[in-house]
Structure 1
């Protein structure tokens, strides 16, 4: 019996067990960034299982924020430099939230002449704020009507300002009330602010949306 080989298998199994139990997201990739092995913590960040990460490009799973970082790392690996490399990344987790953090890649191999694999660790810095919702779309006339009413104008005053009849202003108000399911003008103006149609903190009130498509 080859005791050295047996010991090697035992230690390999122990290393894999430790790899799986580490709470830090870790993966082993080839020199081109394709995942060879990933632990459950890394797979959880991608909303999948370790087996399904195999063969995927780590820089497609975790999007680099600076292209220059990746180019410098590729050049260093081509020259067989053995430094530790860091890449700022963003990625999406299950549920649609987006996080940002840092990938750290350490080249590892049995000897200095062998093509290295990359031991990749992920550090989470935080969660990105969700993008601000786009303002509800209204026509320029609807935006002006809302801004004038928010500033205290009456139907007649808004009509004079816009060169419309009172019935014309009332027509636009009815359309907006039906679209947003509001019962009073106060509620209509409040909804316009909530939907981003009227700019907050601006006086006199201003509409901030473009023409409806």
Structure 2
């Protein structure tokens, strides 16, 4: 081993340790922007592990907000200019929020003649939170119909327990199926759980958790004690 090589190995290992532990998102890319090495902080911004970023294009992970910035940087690198380059970017964080920030790229190499690598650092400037979905609105009768259906009740049994005709129950089911684009009753129940209309982990099914929708006269639709004209 040549003189000075042990020191070089020691300092290389120290640099890699610092690279991994620094809280600033950092990556080393080739001159074309392909990730060669990324630290955990950079990987966390992409919701993955550092090794999975290798080979990815940094400007696909972080979308440039101005194409002209990228064109100017590409031209400068082609001419072997060694300046600090900055690109305004946006990206979707692991939690779904839309973030924006700035990528800073510094060309680095052991000599001026070598094709440089790019030391890329990300600065997070802010984020737009994930929009909260509108609460699912259902009537009390609709929730009770869904709960009975989830519990295995037939149309006839649901009609008896709710004081409706069979046509009345069918009306509510058809209305919900149209609203949620459900192809059948199984899908209708699944959507009711997914949307929080029916409480998960509760038996018998509980029609709770959704916002009540006021519809005058709705609860009275289909009420009656006589048999349905359609059987």
Q: TM > 0.5 between the two?
A: yes
Partner of 1:89: 89
- CA deviation digits over 1:17-71, x for unaligned, max 9? 0100110000000000000000000000000011000010000000000000000
Partner of 1:10: 10
Q: Provide the rounded CA distance (Å) in 1 between the counterparts of 2:5 and 2:127.
A: 46
| CA apart distance, 1:183 | 2.7
Partner of 1:209: none
| CA apart distance, 1:96 | 1.3
In structure 1, stretches of 5+ residues that fail to align are 135-174, 186-213
Q: Provide the rounded CA distance (Å) in 2 between the counterparts of 1:16 and 1:132.
A: 41
- CA deviation digits over 1:160-194, x for unaligned, max 9? xxxxxxxxxxxxxxx8xx96962346xxxxxxxxx
In structure 2, stretches of 5+ residues that fail to align are 135-174, 180-210, 217-231
Partner of 1:46: 46
Question: RMSD of aligned C-alpha atoms?
Answer: 2.5
Q: Does 1:182 align with 2:213?
A: yes
| CA apart distance, 1:97 | 1.2
Q: TM-score, normalised by structure 2?
A: 0.58
Q: TM-score, normalised by structure 1?
A: 0.62
Partner of 1:111: 111
1:128-147 equivalent positions in 2, closer than 5 A: 128-130=128-130
Q: Provide the rounded CA distance (Å) in 2 between the counterparts of 1:132 and 1:93.
A: 16
Q: How many corresponding residue pairs?
A: 145
